[in-house]
Amino acid sequence: MLVDTGAQSSVLSMPLVNQLGLSNRLDRRYQGVAAGVGRARISGALRNVVCTFGVGHVEFLMDFIVLDVSDPLVILGLDQLRKYKCLIDLEREKLVFGGAGGVEVEMLPAHQTHFDMRSLTGTGCTLM
C-alpha cells in the first residue's frame, strides 16, 4: 500500500478489486474521471473494506474509489489518513493510526520500496 499525502482519496485498481473478490461490492453510483498527474476512469467506490496491517494484524474499515487502470494499485490517501488521524513518522519508519500514542504500523525499509506485490502474500497489508 502506497501512502500518498498528495492523493485526496484512497484508491484500489480494478484488477486488484477483481483479484480480491470485491467486485460484487462495487457501488457504481460513484463513476467519473480522476485527474491529477494523469487521468483514469473511476469505476465506482468500495465502502468498509477490512484492511489488516502489520504483524499484530490491526484491522481498520476503509473506503476506496476504484480506478479502471491495468496495474495492481492500492493508495492510502488523505481521506483515510484524516479519518484515522494518522501520523507519518519518517524517523522511526512507522505509520501511526490514532495520533500520538496510537497504533503503530511498520513501513517498508527504504531498500524494499520496489517490490513484487505477489511476494507479500500473508504479510504486510491484507484487504478483504
Please list the active-site residues.
4
Place of cell 502506497: 2
Q: How far apart are CA 102 and CA 122, in angstroms?
A: 24
Provide the sign of the torsion angle of the four alpha carbons 59, 61, 64, 66, taken in this order: positive
Do the strands 32-35 and 39-53 form a parallel or antiparallel pair, or are they unpaired? antiparallel
What's the CA gap between 12 and 99, in Å, rounded?
A: 25
